[in-house]
Structures are given as structure tokens and as C-alpha cells.
Amino acid sequence: MLSLACVVATGVTAQGERAVLGCDVGPSEAEAFWTGVLTVDLL
């Protein structure tokens, strides 16, 4: 069994609908992982 962090980026369209923008899996929710998620184009 592995312990991993899964981050799903969501947004809201101009029409008010929610949309999944992307996702990423990493070894933990450490600052370095979050920085990578927020600075990399997930699409």
C-alpha cells in the first residue's frame, strides 16, 4: 500500500458551473508539491 496525495484543481465558469481544471498525484502535501501544482499547467 502506498500513501500519496491527490490534488484536484477546480474552477468556476462564467456561467457558474464548476469545472475540473486538472489533477496531480505526489508523495505528500508538502510545500514543494503544492508549489509545483500551482506553477505547472495541469491541462
* Domain definitions of the chain by residue range: 5-39
- Cα 6 from Cα 22, distance rounded (Å): 11
- Predicted structure pTM score: 0.62
pLDDT of residue 33: 86
- pLDDT tens-place values along the chain, 43 residues long: 889 999 888 999 999 999 998 888 988 888 888 888 788 755 4
- Cα 28 from Cα 26, distance rounded (Å): 6
- Cα 40 from Cα 17, distance rounded (Å): 23
* β-strand pairing of 5-12 with 18-26: antiparallel
Contact of 5 with 28, CB cutoff 8 Å: yes
- Cα 24 from Cα 8, distance rounded (Å): 7
